[in-house]
Amino acid sequence: MKIISWNVNGIRACVKKGFFDYIKSQKADLVCLQETKATQEQCKEFAEEFKGWESSWHSAKRPGYSGVMTMHRKAPSEITLGMGQELFDSEGRVLISDLKDFYLLNMYFPNGGSGEPRHLFKMEFLSKILPFFKKLEKKKPLVLTGDFNIAHKAIDIHDPVRLDGTSGFMPEERDWMDQLVDAGFVDLFRHFNPEKKDEYSWWSYRQGSRKRNKGWRIDYFFSSRALAGDIKSMRMDQQIEGSDHCPLVLEFR
């Protein structure tokens, strides 16, 4: 099984930058997209391009904002839109696919960088989502993916000293990532690359950041510890430029 995860920063814009060609070239079984900024009705070409696939959309109530979408080559047992918290579900942030052996959670975490109200909103989301993971994991293991909007360690950000305390690299956000790991969830990139430096998944469009590799690793695949041994590889396709984020690719044995 191969799963792609990608914050496309606007699916309609990404489609114009080679999205279909890249996805088809990967021959994946599932594709998880974040920050779609669209509804299914606005993206009717997907049905033509991916005949036989099932697409599940969880769009934000606010037009052109947030949203997640998962494409399944084989229909899942069940799809759940949201985490049962209307405050967050109205922004289209969590989509759960029941894949028989595990739950796949496609997620777009809030960005807290637009002022204190959104930082508090983000911290409230974090406080609710971890207990939600633990409750769901009692039924079966989890694979968590998406844009977490947090760089976990100094190794995950290009300038950890200057950026310490910036939204996405605040102590309380990194502490939450520690809690996630302590709860038994494995960062699958670090599972295979524990000390690898200068590996990022997002680069600002400003100041040629991507060309200079001034990035952040804020997009992840995590799994329940019970599944980690079943993972063959996890990579970041940093050469793909359809978004300010790059795609992540997870392969099972």
What does the pLDDT average to over 221-236? 97
Containing domain of residue 241, as a range?
2-252
Closest CA to 93 of 79, 83, 101, 103: 83
Whole-number mean pLDDT of the chain? 97
CA torsion angle 236 220 92 184 (round to 10): 160
Q: What does pTM read for this prediction?
A: 0.97
Q: How do residues 158-202 score in pLDDT, each as one tens digit?
A: 999 999 999 999 999 999 999 999 999 999 999 999 999 999 999
Span 31-38, mean pLDDT?
A: 98
Percentage of the residues of the chain whose pLDDT score is greater than 90: 98
Structure confidence at residue 48 (pLDDT): 92
Among the listed residues 130, 62, 56, 128, the one whose alpha carbon sits nearest the alpha carbon of residue 97 = 56
How many other β-carbons are positioned within 10 Å of the β-carbon of residue 4?
Answer: 20
Domain count, the chain: 1
The string of DSSP letters for 39-82 reads: -GGG-THHHHHTTT-EEEEE--SSTTS--EEEEESS--SEEEES
CATH number at residue 173: 3.60.10.10
Residues with catalytic roles:
147
What letter would DSSP give residue 116? H
Cβ count near 50 (within 10 Å): 17
Q: What is the pLDDT of residues 63-94, one digit of tens each?
A: 999 999 999 999 999 999 999 999 999 999 99
CB 103 within 8 Å of CB 96: yes
